Amino acid sequence: MRILFLGDIVGEPGRKSVIKFLSTIQKEHSIDFTIVNGENSAGGRGITPSIANDLFKAGADVITTGDHVWDQRDLADHLSNEKRILRPINYPEGVPGSGLISIDTPAGKLAVLNAQGRTFMGQALENPFLILEDTVNALIKDGTKMIFLDFHAETTSEKIAMGYHLDGKASVIVGTHTHVQTADERILPNGTAHITDAGMCGPETSILGRNVESIIYRFKSSLPTRFPVAKGPVRLCGVIAEIDPETGKAKSIERYNRLLEPGEM
């Protein structure tokens, strides 16, 4: 089972590029299942039902999110109908949406999870280490072998700790949120593929997808300002991981990282 994951899609440049290139990438890399993080796909802030539909049409199977999940007002209602969009699982009971979807694939059941870290994150959510341990144990008990987690968190320590915490239980754990791909993809000792951050899909000349000058202005002056999505060539970042459907262990994980040429866009 070959899974493509694309990191945080930022604004129109990011989502147009993903929509245009996704089927090609899937073919080139014999992808069986595609997960994308869409938390910044609507002008950098959240995702709308309509953008989500465009991403599904383009070939995404599941969309994960993160701290920006509620930025667009109409998403919360949409989550009750559209189970393929996940929000972090570690919200309290009663919150719209779900952080888990279980999908029957030709290779067997695949569970996709989305959770959010707590260190330096805007929202105070419940303990993801405890909730994910319980959830993953229940999935395994239930016979699910292939488990994919997008762990949306700020610090490298929380993201690497989650990798070891679920090592041998989850098949693949990718970090998101920092928008910069890390060079530490590896299979952990007990068989879980891990990368600290998958990176983003957004404008190359930018600061996390945002206009460079506005962010520098902010750091220099501490004054508020708007942070428009940047323009120009887009880089697509993510990972391609292969899971052994018999064991649920990862067979490989590779970084996906491609700067689209201006002519391609």
- What does the alpha-carbon distance between residue 82 and residue 84 come to, in Å, rounded to a whole number? 5
Q: 3-class DSSP state for residue 252?
A: strand
Binds 138, which of a copy of itself, Fe ion, none (CB < 5 to 8 A, cut-off by type)?
Answer: none
Strand partners of residue 255: 239
Is residue 14 near Fe ion by the rule CB under 5 A?
A: no
Residue 142 marked as a ligand binder: no
Residue 8 marked as a ligand binder: yes
224, 261, 262, 263: residue in contact with a copy of itself (rule CB under 8 A): 224
Q: 3-class DSSP state for residue 66?
A: coil
| Whether 194 is catalytic | no
Residue 78 marked as a ligand binder: no
Of 29, 68, 78, 194, catalytic: 68
Which residue carries 């891990």 as its tokens? 194
Return the range that interacts with a copy of itself (CB under 8 A); candidates 11-19, 55-63, 106-114, 178-186. 178-186
Q: What binding mask, one character per residue, do residues 165-204 give for Fe ion by CB under 5 A, x or -? A: ------------x---------------------------
Which residues make Cβ contacts (< 8 Å) with residue 66, sequence separation at least 6? Answer: 8, 37, 39, 88, 114, 116, 150, 152, 176, 177
Which residue carries 């590029």 as its tokens? 17
E-state strands within 141-181: 146-152, 172-176
Is residue 158 near Fe ion by the rule CB under 5 A?
A: no
> For the range 95-101, what are the long-range contacts, defined as Cβ-Cβ under 8 Å and sequence gap of 24 or more?
97/69, 100/135, 101/62
Q: What is the CA radius of gyration of the chain?
A: 17
The DSSP secondary structure of 224-249, one letter per residue, reads: ----PBP-S-EEEEEEEEEE-TTT--
Residue pair 172/148 in contact by the 8 Å Cβ criterion: yes
Which residues make Cβ contacts (< 8 Å) with residue 73, sequence separation at least 6? Answer: none
Return the range that interacts with a copy of itself (CB under 8 A); candidates 12-20, 23-31, 36-44, 191-199. 191-199
CB of 121 to Fe ion, least distance (A): 8
Which 64-103 residues touch Fe ion, going by CB under 5 A? 66-67
Binds 8, which of a copy of itself, Fe ion, none (CB < 5 to 8 A, cut-off by type)?
Answer: Fe ion
Binding-site positions for Fe cation: 8, 39-40, 67, 152, 177, 179
Instruction: Name the site residues for a copy of itself (rule: CB under 8 A).
Output: 70, 76, 91-92, 94-95, 118-120, 123-127, 129-130, 133, 154-158, 160-162, 164-165, 178-184, 189, 196-197, 199, 205, 207-208, 212, 215-216, 219-224, 255, 257
Instruction: Name the site residues for Fe ion (rule: CB under 5 A).
Output: 8, 39-40, 66-67, 177
Give catalytic residue positions: 68
